[in-house]
Amino acid sequence: MASRLFAGVDIGGTKISVVIANEEGNVLGRGRRKSRPERGFSAVMERTSETVDEACADAGVPRTDLAAVGIGAPSPILPDGTAVSAVNMGWENVPLAQTLSQLLGLPTFAENDCNVGTFGEYALGTPRRRGTLVGLFMGTGLGGGMVLEGAILRGDNALAGEIGHMTVVPDGRPCVCGKRGCLEAYASKTGLAYEFKQAILLERKQSILPSLIDEAGLDNVKSSILRRAWDEKDEVTRVALKRAARYLGIAAGNLITLLAPTTVVLGGGVMEALGDELLPLVRDAAQEHAFPPASYRAASIELASLGDDAVALGAMAYARAQLA
């Protein structure tokens, strides 16, 4: 029997990415469009459907050959595929899986993007996983997910896994969520922006960053620019990234203490660009904060292996698991 084919869909505030993959997770075709959420939910669904067709064409397979479609989107998502609340998309309680299923005429399953990103590492990552896997994704924000013995930990109303908003410093820095001292306020591009502004604008420290950044300014420095500034030994950049890695490691240590996972996977744009430099720092801080020491020794802290395709491939693997 030939391997079944799946579509994995990554819907974000900026773009829709689709992969067509076989059962083993090998990518056979791709599609990509801007998501344009300001045009409304129905329009995004239409564009998503078109992007799936584009990816099918790229793979050279008819859409009807797909066994199922998986979607990852930035929202808590209920088991019936309803996206509860996606601020970036302007969605409130929209029937995400159901709508795309009707447009495509295919079984369609939806899950939170960080959850499927974590699930993909569990199901497709190298090495294959067992036990508990925790995913930490450091990009613009800090996303996370947990997979326990193959099952995504969803919690009540699918609200679990807001790792970026766990408090790491009581009464600490303000966070975009309105609280203070959240992990995301330290270990994300938002946290880095805080450090950069403090160092460059307030403390007037020398840095090559202002000469490298684009119109987004210090608020959202591209990961490739972070890498370049690190490589050029820019002290402001290095201090900020080291501090972000330390807080990420404290959080990883806390999650090891709580969950005794087999694996903690570090992904997201910042880790994609700087993982080789930051991984040892995250491990050191995790070791310092994990308890008992045996839990740290048993837990492997690794860089994610699915890269930019993490959400789309994770969504594909999630759809595969729903059919199994």
Q: Which residues of this chain interact with its own copies, rule CB under 8 A?
A: 131-132, 146, 148, 153-163, 165-170, 177, 179, 182, 247, 250, 253-255, 257-262, 288-289, 291-292, 294-295, 298-299
Nearest to its own copies of 48, 263 (CB atom): 263
Compute, in degrees rounded to 10, the torsion defined by CA atoms 170, 175, 179, 183. Answer: -50
> What does R_g of the chain's alpha carbons equal in angstroms?
20
Nearest to its own copies of 183, 278 (CB atom): 183
Q: How far is the CB of 125 from its own copies (least distance, A)?
A: 17
Nearest to its own copies of 167, 305 (CB atom): 167
Q: How far is the CB of 260 from its own copies (least distance, A)?
A: 3
Q: How far is the CB of 204 from its own copies (least distance, A)?
A: 27
Nearest to its own copies of 286, 306 (CB atom): 286
**Cα-based distances in Å from 23 to 51, 146, 240:** 20, 22, 41
Sign of the CA dihedral with 55 first, then 59, 65, and 67 last: negative
Q: Which two tokens stand for residue 203?
A: 């403390």
C-alpha 177/C-alpha 161 separation (Å) is 15
Nearest to its own copies of 41, 296 (CB atom): 296
CB 144 within 8 A of CB 163: yes
Nearest to its own copies of 11, 183 (CB atom): 183
Using alpha carbons, select from 93, 111, 108, 107 the residue that is nearest to residue 41: 93
Q: How far is the CB of 216 from its own copies (least distance, A)?
A: 26
Q: How far is the CB of 288 from its own copies (least distance, A)?
A: 7
Q: How far is the CB of 248 from its own copies (least distance, A)?
A: 12
Instruction: Let me know if 129 is exposed, middle or buried by CB neighbors in 10 A (0-12, 13-18, 19+).
Output: buried
